[in-house]
């Protein structure tokens, strides 16, 4: 029966991409001239693993390229080649090429063969130059100079060994290049044919290897199976006495006895744990022998989203039961309501647990910046130190995916516009190397991400002059520092004198703000001339659940996000003025705010039309404050957001919907969109 390896491609690609990320991070930590040997070993293991996987799955071009890379890394490991800037750049380019090759293979697309061939030639050239530079009178020792030795190898794969794309035959083939092999297969654990799972490994091997090699070279052959098997390597005395076959058979029998003993001990531990569970009400976790790292499992995002949706439906059902419970009478009413209260507590714990599953550390985004900062700094001739703090701060995966691009643009801006050239920094009395700092932390119910630098700060005179030149600001207008800083977010605005592939087109900061607003967040600028700039992004932790204030307008209920509410008040009669081109306005803490009548926006018949008969909820969105006129406030609650775009269609001023306890649908207001919609209506 032949095994279809294509079913393991997804796992191979996912693990390879993660391995390349770790390889790139390790490369960025390499010290030129005095590299850490363990870092080089880490990089080598990644290349060796990807080469082995590529060969197993028949990805010949990937295996060939990675073999050349592995050869160069072997020279670095053996200290026959020094780590230089040129070698470091070559290795980083290799990471880029391997990542592109994997993406092409994953998407069944053609690879850039010329780029791969050019870089592979550069790798081989670096190796050849090293060989040419080696003195003839000091030849390197060859493997054949090693004394012949005998080794016993116990190789016991875990059941998932084949499912991860491993191939024992390939490993034996590599072992045969080190010496003569005698292999004995242990099939004692092989189940009956009717119970056999062809994707699980039930065999183990005892191998005797004789040849001029070392234990380190033997273990390298099995590097690809690290974490997927148990490996034991022993050096045997010189041949003599019992035959090789007898010795190998004895080792195999000994391994089988050890496995049986381990299974019996494990069974005893589980039985003991069960007894303790009965006695104490809590089972102890039994230790399991022969299993890889079980600290985490891979689960697709789709499954987590399905789980989140199911929990959302349960929350809605629980709210409906709680509402019905208020009207239950009789001898069992108190007990029924007590059960509902317990159900509500359990549902909140379940909801929070599922939300934690969706949370990922922001290091997934931050990890892309060390390479970017290094490359851009080299390109612009600047010296920049990148500091990362708060990398373990967690936020929802959906937010995490969408915050990446805005952060990339802010980092590029800080490198290009913010941090000065080394000569300019020295002239200003600053250190030659600039500092770019990325920080993330929790603030209340939100997450704050800061991008700061110790560069020259915003040149407000230049920004204002450029804005007047373009007609964005009248010559007579006097703007505050904050208002001038806001000009950089105007679409198409740029102070760059020349257009490059980094900046100057006026496309970027407006997109940054728009993307952040779509996530329900905001961005603030804090800059000091000559001292640097800080961009502070405030985001909600999740887009799946929102804490909201329920308001009613007529017979309809709407949800206003709590984070946007400033204050609720009742206006006195006659405390509203109508201004030409501005609509209804009311005084609030020294400012005049416009009134948005929700019943006019959504075409609902209200219970009150006079402003003093209802309530005004002061909210903030899009950097502006307005008053929402509603009939009444109903209460605060946590609601599960359902997408209107996916289930119905786009509605201006609405970010989503939720189902209330009585089964009714309530719209969740998009305050920035609502403010823009109202402004357009007034202007028209």
Kindly report the three-state secondary structure assignment for every residue of 571-592: CCCCCEEEECCCEEEEEECCEE
**Both 72 and 204 in a single domain?**
no
DSSP run (H or E) holding 565: strand 565-569
**Both 90 and 153 in a single domain?**
no
In a domain, 12, yes or no: yes
**Both 62 and 121 in a single domain?**
yes
How does pLDDT run across 323-352, given as a tens digit for each residue?
788 778 878 888 888 888 888 888 888 877
In a domain, 64, yes or no: yes
> Torsion angle of alpha carbons 320, 322, 324, 330, nearest 10°?
160
Domain final residue pick, 133, 151, 166: 133
Q: What is the pLDDT of residue 147?
A: 77
In a domain, 344, yes or no: yes
CB 362, CB 390: distance < 8 Å: yes
Domain final residue pick, 343, 360, 377: 360
**Both 519 and 583 in a single domain?**
no
**Both 454 and 602 in a single domain?**
no
Q: What is the pLDDT of residue 41?
A: 85
**Both 382 and 439 in a single domain?**
yes
In a domain, 177, yes or no: yes
**Both 395 and 425 in a single domain?**
yes
The DSSP secondary structure of 242-309, one letter per residue, reads: S-HHHHHHHHHHHHHHHHHHHHHHHHHHHHHHHHHHHHHSSPPPPP-TT----S-----HHHHHHHHH
Parallel, antiparallel, or unpaired for β 394-396 and 446-453?
unpaired
Q: What is the pLDDT of residue 195?
A: 83
Q: How far from the centroid of its chain's Cα atoms is residue 14's Cα?
A: 13
Mapping DSSP onto H, E and C, the string for 411-442 reads HHHHHHHHCCCHHHHHHCCCCCCEEEEEEEEE
**Position of tokens 């060939």?**
64
Q: What is the pLDDT of residue 581?
A: 64
Please name which of 684, 658, 679, 680 lies closest in space to residue 669, comparing C-alpha atoms. Answer: 658
| CATH code at position 82 | 1.20.120.160
Ranges in the chain, pLDDT < 50: 1-2, 133-144, 240-252, 255-256, 259, 262-294, 499, 504-507
- pTM for this one? 0.58
**Both 333 and 246 in a single domain?**
no
Q: What is the pLDDT of residue 245?
A: 45
> Which residues partner with 534 through β-bridges?
452, 526
**Both 398 and 522 in a single domain?**
yes
Q: What is the pLDDT of residue 515?
A: 83
d(CA 573, CA 155): 87
In a domain, 183, yes or no: yes
| CATH code at position 449 | 3.30.565.10
In a domain, 293, yes or no: no
DSSP run (H or E) holding 9: helix 9-28
Q: What is the pLDDT of residue 543?
A: 67
Domain final residue pick, 540, 572, 596: 540
Task: Return the DSSP state at 642.
Answer: B
| CATH code at position 573 | 2.40.50.180
Q: What is residue 626's three-state secondary structure? A: strand
**Both 113 and 184 in a single domain?**
no
In a domain, 296, yes or no: no
Q: What is the pLDDT of residue 137?
A: 41
Q: What is the pLDDT of residue 351?
A: 78
Q: What is the pLDDT of residue 279?
A: 39
Instruction: Measure the CA angle with vertex 360, ends 354 and 363; round to 5°.
Output: 170
| CATH code at position 197 | 3.30.70.260
Cross-sheet strand order for the sheet of 434-443:
384-389, 434-443, 446-453, 532-540, 522-528
**Both 100 and 161 in a single domain?**
no
In a domain, 59, yes or no: yes
Q: What is the pLDDT of residue 502?
A: 56
Could you list the residue range(s) of the whole structural domain that residue 414 is in? 362-540
Structure tokens at 15: 């693990």
How many domains, in total, are found in the chain? 5
d(CA 223, CA 513): 47
**Both 536 and 679 in a single domain?**
no
């Amino acid at each position: 029966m032949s095994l279809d390896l294509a079913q393991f491609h997804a796992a191979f690609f996912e693990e390879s991409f993660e391995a390349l990320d770790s390889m790139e991070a390790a490369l960025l930590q390499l010290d030129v001239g005095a590299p850490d040997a363990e870092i080089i070993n880490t990089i080598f293991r990644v290349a060796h693993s990807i080469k082995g996987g590529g060969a197993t799955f028949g990805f010949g071009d990937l295996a060939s390229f990675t073999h050349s890379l592995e050869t160069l890394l072997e020279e670095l490991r053996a200290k026959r080649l020094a780590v230089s800037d040129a070698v470091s750049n070559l290795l980083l380019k290799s990471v880029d090429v391997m990542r592109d090759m994997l993406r092409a293979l994953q998407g069944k697309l053609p690879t850039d063969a010329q780029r791969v061939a050019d870089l592979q030639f550069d790798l081989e050239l670096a190796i050849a130059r090293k060989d040419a530079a080696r003195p003839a009178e000091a030849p390197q020792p060859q493997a054949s100079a090693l004394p012949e030795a005998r080794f016993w190898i116990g190789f016991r794969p875990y059941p998932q060994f084949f499912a991860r794309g491993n191939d024992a035959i390939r490993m034996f083939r590599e072992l045969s290049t080190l010496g003569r092999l005698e292999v004995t297969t242990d099939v004692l654990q092989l189940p009956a044919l009717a119970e056999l799972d062809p994707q699980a490994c039930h065999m183990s091997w005892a191998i005797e290897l004789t040849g001029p090699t070392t234990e380190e070279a033997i273990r390298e052959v099995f590097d690809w199976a690290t974490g997927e098997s148990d490996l034991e390597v022993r050096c045997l005395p010189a041949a003599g006495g019992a035959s090789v076959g007898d010795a190998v058979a004895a080792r195999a029998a000994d391994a089988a006895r050890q496995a049986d003993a381990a299974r019996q001990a494990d069974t005893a531990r589980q039985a003991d744990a069960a007894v303790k569970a009965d006695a104490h009400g809590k089972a102890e976790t039994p230790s399991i022998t022969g299993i890889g790292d079980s600290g985490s499992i891979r689960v697709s995002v789709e499954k987590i989203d399905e789980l989140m949706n199911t929990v959302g439906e349960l929350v809605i059902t629980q709210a409906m039961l709680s509402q019905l419970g208020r009207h239950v009478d009789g001898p069992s009413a108190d007990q029924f309501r007590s059960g509902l209260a317990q159900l509500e507590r359990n549902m909140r714990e379940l909801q929070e647990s599922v939300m934690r599953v969706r949370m990922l550390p922001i290091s997934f985004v931050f990890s892309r910046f060390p390479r970017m900062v290094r490359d851009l700094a080299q390109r612009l001739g600047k010296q920049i130190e990148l500091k990362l703090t708060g990398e373990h701060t967690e936020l929802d995966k959906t937010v995490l995916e969408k915050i990446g691009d805005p952060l990339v643009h802010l980092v590029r801006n800080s490198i290009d516009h913010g941090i000065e050239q080394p000569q300019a920094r020295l002239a200003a009395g600053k250190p030659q190397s600039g500092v770019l700092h990325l920080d993330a932390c929790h603030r209340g119910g939100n997450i704050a991400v800061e991008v700061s630098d110790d560069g020259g700060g915003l040149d407000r005179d230049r920004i204002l002059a450029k804005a007047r030149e373009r007609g964005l600001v009248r010559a007579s207008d006097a703007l505050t520092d904050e208002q001038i800083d806001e000009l950089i977010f105007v679409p198409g605005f740029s102070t760059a004198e020349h257009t490059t592939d980094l900046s100057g087109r006026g496309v970027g900061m407006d997109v940054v703000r728009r993307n952040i607003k779509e996530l329900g967040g905001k961005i603030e600028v804090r800059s000091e001339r000559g001292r640097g700039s800080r961009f502070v992004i405030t985001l909600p932790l999740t887009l799946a659940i929102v804490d909201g204030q329920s308001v009613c307008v007529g017979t309809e209920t709407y949800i206003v996000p709590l984070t946007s509410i400033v204050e609720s008040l009742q206006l006195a009669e006659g405390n509203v003025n109508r201004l030409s081109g501005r609509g209804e306005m009311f005084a609030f803490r020294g400012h005049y705010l416009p009134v948005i009548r929700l019943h006019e926006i959504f075409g609902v018949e209200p219970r009150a039309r006079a402003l003093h008969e209802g309530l005004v909820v002061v909210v903030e969105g899009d950097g502006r404050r307005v008053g929402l006129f509603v009939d009444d406030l109903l209460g605060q609650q946590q609601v599960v957001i359902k997408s209107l775009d996916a289930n119905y269609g786009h509605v201006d001023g609405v970010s989503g919907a939720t189902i209330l306890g009585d089964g009714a649908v309530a719209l969740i207001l998009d305050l920035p969109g609502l403010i823009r919609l109202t402004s357009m209506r007034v202007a028209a």
